[in-house]
Amino acid sequence: MTGFQIVVLWSDILIWLLVAAGVGFGLLIAKSPPLLAAWRRVGANRVGMASATILLAFVLIGLLDSLHYRVQMDGKADQKVTYAIEVLSVLDALAAPLRLRNEKTYSEPFATRLYAKETIDLPGGGTVRDYPRLRYGGKHLGEREDAVASDAGFTALRAGVVALLAWLSVAGMASVAVNRRRAPGDAAGWRKIWRGETAFAWNAMLITLGLMLLLVVPLFWLAGQYHVFGTDKVGQDVLYQILKSVRTGLIIGLVTTLVMLPMAVLLGIVAGYFRGWVDDVIQYIYTVLNSIPGVLLIAAAVLMMQVVIDTHPQWFSTAAERADLRLLALCFILGITSWTGLCRLLRGETLKLRELEYIQAAQAFGVSNGRIIVRHILPNLMHIVIIALVMDFSGLVLAEAVLSYVGIGVDPSMTSFGTMINNARMELGREPVVWWSLAAAFSAMFILVLAANLFADAVRDAFDPRAV
């Protein structure tokens, strides 16, 4: 039996720490009636819960791609155990058919032949210019290449039936859960869900989940027989690249926010509460940062970090560790350069809060400044912090795409939406146009960012004091 060695990257540690922090935050919400009431309003928002369902699917993909290992190499029994240089993840193992079934070069979605003509040797001698047959795409059809549409349609239909059965089982469990909480004489759980009479927006989540299953299950079923999104220049499946890009986008959005948050909250509250020379110094710092073009500042920092990485190859045992360090460096650089907006917002809100009667009463009674900030100022700013966190996530995902497009983003060996778009841009000028890689990356990134923005709107509405 082939063994494996668990590999823990720094980004993996941060991701799972964020998961643990999310669980802890959930326990804190359960003990805080105001926060619990606000999040219940989020749960009652149908658009917010529909977008949350999509975000949970992206998060699940990112978590599966954050469990890494190295496969043990074959060798003699008396030899030292060695492991492969390539670092894989649980997602790579689950998507092994997509990862290993590489073609020679470009092929269109659901194609059975390459996208470019080549010289083919005929069995009886001689050559001909034609489109070579793919090694894996549509291989099960044999000579029936004209049956792609009917075969794909029938396969999608069967997969759709399986997806429908899976959805009915989930909907049944949700109905049972709602039915247990109903009072005597109330409508059955199934009817309450679809009438929208539940406190939680079950109907929105189930409808979204049903649409996702009807799309995803046939898609991955067909991916075992075709390249549903085509292949890139080196013949790698584009669907596999999309799955691998999800983790990169989540790390950029979440870890950068984690870096930005403490600095923005601390400096914003300190500037607004103490005022005077402290406020002047902090304002001077973020005004100077804002006066420097952001792309130039990020580019300079990334290039300096790349020099450090190149001059210390002994720090890394695998290419994955090298790429992971550059990704984390990009997150820290983005965090250090993007905290000014939230800091300015919290400063202005703190200036208003410190003039309220209960803050002045606490100061009159001799309560320390630190205690006032922790017990009175910070809790009244949490709704702004939460809203800013959710809304900044989508902006950071787009920032990574732009930076990778101009060549100062993640490591070229790491797959991301930005690197996919960057690799596809040169193919738009060829004839015929290779469009599917760019379209797939854009669509996936659009769905992720749109879901994050809609969820941010739901959080903003729920935490807005004027809407309560």
Greatest mean pLDDT range, 53-57, 230-234, 285-289: 53-57
Q: How far apart are CA 384 and CA 264, in angstroms?
A: 12
pLDDT band at 41 (very low <50, low <70, confident <90, very high): confident
pLDDT tens profile 326-345: 888 888 888 888 888 888 88
Q: How far apart are CA 289 and CA 280, in angstroms?
A: 14
pLDDT score for 60: 93
pLDDT band at 465 (very low <50, low <70, confident <90, very high): low
Q: How far apart are CA 361 and CA 356, in angstroms?
A: 9
pLDDT score for 186: 47
Q: How far apart are CA 419 and CA 404, in angstroms?
A: 6
Tokens 């220049």 locate to: 233
Higher pLDDT: 406 or 224? It is 224
Given a cut of 80, whether residue 393 has pLDDT beyond it is no
pLDDT tens profile 58-99: 999 999 999 988 888 776 656 677 777 888 899 998 988 888
Higher pLDDT: 240 or 188? It is 240
Q: What is the pTM of this model?
A: 0.86
pLDDT score for 63: 92
Q: Which two tokens stand for residue 304?
A: 């300096």
Residues 6+ apart with CB under 8 A from 73: 82, 83, 84
Given a cut of 50, whether residue 185 has pLDDT beyond it is no
Least confident of 120-129, 149-158, 444-453: 120-129
pLDDT band at 242 (very low <50, low <70, confident <90, very high): very high
pLDDT band at 239 (very low <50, low <70, confident <90, very high): very high
Higher pLDDT: 222 or 457? It is 222
pLDDT score for 359: 83
Given a cut of 50, whether residue 292 has pLDDT beyond it is yes
Cis peptide before 432 (omega within 30 of 0): yes
**What is the residue-averaged pLDDT of the chain?**
83
Q: Is 113 strand, coil or helix? A: strand
- State mean pLDDT over 234-245: 90
- State mean pLDDT over 288-296: 78
Q: Which two tokens stand for residue 237?
A: 């499946």
Higher pLDDT: 443 or 130? It is 443
pLDDT score for 217: 92
Are the beta carbons of 84 and 7 closer than 8 angstroms? no
- State mean pLDDT over 32-49: 85
- State mean pLDDT over 216-230: 90
Given a cut of 90, whether residue 163 has pLDDT beyond it is yes
Given a cut of 90, whether residue 57 has pLDDT beyond it is yes
Percentage of the chain modeled with pLDDT above 70: 95
Residue 24 has a CB neighbour count (10 Å cut-off) of: 10
Cα dist from 100 to 135, 222, 237, whole Å: 12, 16, 9
Higher pLDDT: 346 or 125? It is 346
pLDDT score for 216: 92
Given a cut of 60, whether residue 468 has pLDDT beyond it is no
Q: How far apart are CA 455 and CA 437, in angstroms?
A: 27
Residues 6+ apart with CB under 8 A from 3: 71, 72, 81
pLDDT score for 1: 44
pLDDT score for 76: 62
Q: Which residues pair with 120 in a beta bridge?
A: 128
Q: Which residues pair with 357 in a beta bridge?
A: none
Are the beta carbons of 411 and 323 closer than 8 angstroms? yes
- Of residues 399, 302, 407, 299, the one with CA closest to residue 341: 399
Q: How far apart are CA 231 and CA 95, in angstroms?
A: 15
Q: How far apart are CA 215 and CA 206, in angstroms?
A: 14
Least confident of 53-57, 123-127, 139-143: 123-127
Domain boundaries, the chain: 138-225, 241-467
Least confident of 148-162, 259-273, 389-403: 389-403
Residue 294 has a CB neighbour count (10 Å cut-off) of: 14
CATH topology of domain 241-467: MetI-like fold (1.10.3720)
Given a cut of 90, whether residue 157 has pLDDT beyond it is yes
Higher pLDDT: 197 or 359? It is 359
